[in-house]
């Protein structure tokens, strides 16, 4: 037997469906649409709407509210044909209905205004579960129920109508919860609660961490009006100054001497007892042991300006030198360690050079005495003076700090400078047996009177004829014994070398070398 492939689309099934639909339409027509009516319409009288005072009057005119399926209009469009005032509100986003539709696109009128619930049922179903109250600027997140657990109704806050709200309503309710706080809060910030609160983040559980100024330390214990004085709106609260001087300038004990960056030293944990000053911002840096010193040790009586910055101002009371080294302690001491002394001797009149750099301070500064210390060599070296004072006390004449030995004597610093051949003469030639003091400085004391002088120049200064550069030949410029120019008429023998007359030796002389019988006066040309 062949299978019927049409199933529900068989001619018999299609005919049955059509007969059923016709029966339903006929029944609805003859029953006055009662077949599809979910319930009676509201019959409470209201404002005149196109000649009707209630929805119940057009119960049989479904098309006034229910658009045909093929119509481009929706039910909300048909509502506005009667409720023209609502239609005007929808064009204004600042109105109640305008704000709702503006924030909830596609919201239907029947969401809040259901019908067919009976002749006396309310046409407004505006509980917080089905009404988006945040669109009017105040969320009901924290108003779930009122004591003792009774759900809020619109009339609890909107005592006259839904379009009006009296701020006193907030105070009346919150006084029952906390009379002291509510009364003080109104006195501080006024009665217009909605100017600051929105029921979401600006309700009673507001946290200052949500702002750029977190409340820590003592700030968290300060009442709001202490900073938000005379604030009446959200803008007033948000524009409250956050700088320290805005609150603390009037009580600044420094009188502005440290500027207005209070956070440099102070913090919210303790204004007076927990002060930490960054001394790197000051002209006097804290280094070494200074960084561990209590502030009060230098800043007596809380005096911070004009504090002396020189060492002696603080350390003069414990100065073991009793002012002997003046007041510039930094010449020897440093902040890292007061006892770790390093003296820069270049700062004094006596510079340390050579072997002196390795000498212990106490070798010269005995018994802790540092001032008026002798600076001459002999004061320190006299106890080991091998010369036993024969060279005087100016050791630097021969010795230096670079090397005490060997010594080099600079004879030019003595009474007898060495010149000419004397500068190459061995010291022992004159300083016999280590005798350096009291030596004669005349030529004759070393050179005597040569035999070939035959005593002719005794008593004469050797330097009249001789010099240290050339001992021989000598040039005699003194008074010649035996030759005189009486009355100025004698012959001038000056300028003649000794050998001109003393051809053999100084003991004998000849005149005939210049004077003969033809020229007795020695004049050029002789006698004719």
Please write the tens of the pLDDT for every residue from 86-143: 888 888 887 878 877 777 777 788 888 888 989 998 888 766 556 777 777 788 877 8
Least confident of 20-34, 274-288, 325-339, 366-380: 20-34
pTM flag (> 0.75)? no
Tell whether 161 is covered by a domain.
no
Tell whether 452 is covered by a domain.
no
Count the alpha carbons within 13 Å of 279 in the hemisphere toward its beta carbon. Answer: 16
Q: How many residues are there in the chain?
A: 528
Tell whether 264 is covered by a domain.
no
d(CA 26, CA 22): 6
Tell whether 117 is covered by a domain.
yes
355: CB partners within 8 A, 6+ apart: 401, 402, 403, 404
Q: What's the token pair of residue 298?
A: 């230098």
d(CA 235, CA 247): 19
**Look-up of token digits 């700030």:** 219
* pLDDT digits 0-9 by tens, 440-483: 888 888 887 777 776 777 777 787 778 888 777 777 665 665 56
Query: Is 203:138 a contact under the CB 8 Å cutoff?
Result: no
Tell whether 36 is covered by a domain.
yes
Q: Which domain holds residue 71?
A: 21-125
What total of structural domains would you count in the chain?
A: 1
Tell whether 77 is covered by a domain.
yes
Residue-wise DSSP of 290-302: GGGS-HHHHSGGG
Q: Which of 369, 343, 367, 368 is nearest to 356 (CA)?
A: 343
Query: Is 247:219 a contact under the CB 8 Å cutoff?
Result: no
Distances (CA, A) of 42 to 117, 123, 154: 7, 7, 20
Query: Is 65:78 a contact under the CB 8 Å cutoff?
Result: yes
Tell whether 72 is covered by a domain.
yes
d(CA 208, CA 224): 11
Cβ neighbours, 10 Å, residue 249: 12
Distances (CA, A) of 101 to 79, 105, 421: 14, 6, 127
Distances (CA, A) of 122 to 117, 226, 408: 8, 48, 130
* pLDDT digits 0-9 by tens, 276-299: 777 877 778 888 888 888 888 888
d(CA 380, CA 376): 8
Which band of pLDDT confidence, cut at 50, 70 and 90, is reported for residue 353? Answer: confident
DSSP 104: S
Q: Which of 348, 339, 342, 375 is nearest to 361 (CA)?
A: 342
Tell whether 49 is covered by a domain.
yes
């Amino acid at each position: 037997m062949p299978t019927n492939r049409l199933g529900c689309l068989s001619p018999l099934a299609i005919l049955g469906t059509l007969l059923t639909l016709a029966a339903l339409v006929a029944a609805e027509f003859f029953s006055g649409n009662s077949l599809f009516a979910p319930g009676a319409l509201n019959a409470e009288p209201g404002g005149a709407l196109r000649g009707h005072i209630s929805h119940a009057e057009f119960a049989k005119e479904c098309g006034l509210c229910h658009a045909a399926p093929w119509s481009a209009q929706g039910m909300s469009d048909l509502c506005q044909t009667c409720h023209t005032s609502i239609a005007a509100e929808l064009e204004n986003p600042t109105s109640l209905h305008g704000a709702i539709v503006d924030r909830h696109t596609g919201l239907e009128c029947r969401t809040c205004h259901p019908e067919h619930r009976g002749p006396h049922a309310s046409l407004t179903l505006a509980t917080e579960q089905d009404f988006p109250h945040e669109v009017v600027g105040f969320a009901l997140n924290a108003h779930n129920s009122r004591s003792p657990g009774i759900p809020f109704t619109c009339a609890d806050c909107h005592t006259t109508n839904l379009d009006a709200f009296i701020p006193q309503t907030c105070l009346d309710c919150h006084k029952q919860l906390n009379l002291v706080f509510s009364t003080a809060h109104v006195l501080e910030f006024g009665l217009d609660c909605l100017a600051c609160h929105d029921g979401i983040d600006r309700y009673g559980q507001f946290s200052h961490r949500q702002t750029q100024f977190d409340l820590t330390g003592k700030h968290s214990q300060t009442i709001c009006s202490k900073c938000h004085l005379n604030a009446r709106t959200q803008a007033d609260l948000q524009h409250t100054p956050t700088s320290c001087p805005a609150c603390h300038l009037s009580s600044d004990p420094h009188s502005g001497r440290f500027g207005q960056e209070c956070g440099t030293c102070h913090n919210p944990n303790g204004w007076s007892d927990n002060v930490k000053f960054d001394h790197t911002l000051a002209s006097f840096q804290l280094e070494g042991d200074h960084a561990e010193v209590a502030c009060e040790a230098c800043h007596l009586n809380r005096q911070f300006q004009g504090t002396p910055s020189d060492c002696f101002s603080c350390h003069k009371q414990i100065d073991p030198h009793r002012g002997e080294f003046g007041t510039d302690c930094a010449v020897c001491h440093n902040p890292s360690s007061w006892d770790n002394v390093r003296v820069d001797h270049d700062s004094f009149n006596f510079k340390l050079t050579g072997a002196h750099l390795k000498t212990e301070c106490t070798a010269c500064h005995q018994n802790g005495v540092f001032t008026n210390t002798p600076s001459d060599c002999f004061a320190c070296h006299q106890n080991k003076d091998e010369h036993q004072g024969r060279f005087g006390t100016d050791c630097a004449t021969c010795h230096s700090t670079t090397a005490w030995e060997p010594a080099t004597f600079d004879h030019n610093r003595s009474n007898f400078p060495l010149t000419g051949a004397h500068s190459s003469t061995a010291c022992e030639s004159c300083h016999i047996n280590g005798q350096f003091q009291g030596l004669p400085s005349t030529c004759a004391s070393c050179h005597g009177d040569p035999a070939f002088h035959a005593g002719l120049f005794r008593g004469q200064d050797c330097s009249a004829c001789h010099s240290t550069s050339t001992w021989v030949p000598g040039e005699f410029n003194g008074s010649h014994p035996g030759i005189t120019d009486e009355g100025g008429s004698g012959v001038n023998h000056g300028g003649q070398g000794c050998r001109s007359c003393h051809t053999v030796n100084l003991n004998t002389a000849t005149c005939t070398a210049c004077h003969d019988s033809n020229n007795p006066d020695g004049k050029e040309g002789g006698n004719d």
